[in-house]
Chains A and B, each alone.
Chain A
Amino acid sequence: MMRPGLRKAVLTAHVTASVGWLGAVAGFLALSIAGLASGDAQTVRAAYLAMESTGWFVLVPLSLASLLTGLVQSLGTKWGLFRHYWVLTKLVINLVATIVLLMYMQTLDSLSAIARETRVRADDLGGLRDPSPVLHAGAALLLLLVATTLAVYKPRSLTPYGRRRQRAVP
């Protein structure tokens, strides 16, 4: 078990990374909507270039930091990783969101490469306008909102493993 000071520090890092990730996804969603809906070619190209940078330099680091600090926080405290449904659900959400993000970065790289090469003409953006960033960011935002809600409410219900552990160690 972690000492109280260390536990608070890891908790602070976990909350910062997780809520920061949520906020960054909201910003990414705004960029993706601009990329899809704007009539200005420069704005569309800039949005896709900004999305790639935001992905690699903000979303990916924050997602990995959230996952890592979450693992340390759960394994180093009484909560455990598999004892409570709310912790387990957050783990699944975090893993799914991180894996999909890492896979989706290839698509963002591809879109960003098109944005770099495209000549600045409004009628030349057909291959660039793509609803998938909006869909992915919207889904991620919903998932992370569920995770944040679970973290705040902490619904107390033990998994079968948690119940066995509780009986074994009263």
Chain B
Amino acid sequence: MNGTPRWVKALGIIALLLVLLVVVALLLGGNHGPGRHS
């Protein structure tokens, strides 16, 4: 029962990858948010 369960580690890794993906998309795209519609 001790230690972090495998499913928590898996979800954590997936979340980290998704956050990285979003950050990269924002940096490359650079036009996120309501102001991008001119």
B33 touches which one: A107, A127, A157, A163 (CB < 8 A)?
A: A107
- The reply to whether A89 and B8 form a contact with Cβ atoms under 8 Å apart is yes
- The reply to whether A89 and B11 form a contact with Cβ atoms under 8 Å apart is yes
Residues A155 and B11 in contact in the complex (CB < 8 Å), given A111-B37, A114-B37: no
User: Main SS of the interface on chain B?
Assistant: loop
Docked CA distance A155–B4 (Å): 12
Contact-residue size bin, chain B (C-beta under 8 Å from the other chain)? 10 to 19
Residues A155 and B34 in contact in the complex (CB < 8 Å), given A89-B11, A146-B11: no
Residues A110 and B37 in contact in the complex (CB < 8 Å), given A157-B1, A157-B5, A158-B1: yes
Question: Which A125-163 residues have C-beta < 8 A from chain B?
Answer: 127, 130, 132, 139, 146, 155, 157-158, 163
User: Main SS of the interface on chain A?
Assistant: helix
Docked CA distance A158–B5 (Å): 9
